[in-house]
Amino acid sequence: MASISVRTIDAATAVKAAQAAEEKAKEIGIAVCIAVYDSSSQLKAYLRMDGAPMLARDIAEDKAHTSASFRSPTHGLFDWISKDPPLMAGITQYPRFIVFGGGYPIVEDGELIGSIGISGGHYSQDMECCKAGLAAIGCGAE
């Protein structure tokens, strides 16, 4: 046996999560970029809403990348990093490492299958959109 088995979000579910997040963003009245990553931290689905800020394009992906990497919502990372001066000084500026809200892991039966990252509104709004995406695919926000 030379391999392990891993689970990863399927394309249809990734699209479903992105579309539910988009609906929430419309409801809130913001335009966001939405990235869904798989469990290998690679892009699976992406949507840039009309009028979303262009700088949000990469931030959405980076939030998903951070969440899939550490199986943690991005805002959760800030809580412990902020108490650790070397990390606070160092890792907050590491490329693609995001410490503010708007990224969540996607977990199924206790196993990481992907992540969602959203950027475009205030991060508290981005978080609401993420949670709507997670709810639509039957995953709670960890």
Query: How many chain residues bind a second copy (CB under 8 A)?
Result: 72
Exposed (0-12), middle (13-18) or buried (19+): which is 106, by Cβ within 10 Å? buried
Give me the 112-141 binding string for a second copy, x by CB under 8 A, dash otherwise: -xx--------x-------------xxx--
CB of 75 to a second copy, least distance (A): 7
Residues 57-96 interacting with a second copy (rule: CB under 8 A): 57-59, 65-66, 68-70, 75, 78, 81-82, 84-96
For position 23 contacting a second copy by CB under 8 A, the verdict is: no
Cα-based distances in Å from 71 to 33, 40, 46, 75, 111? 21, 12, 20, 12, 10
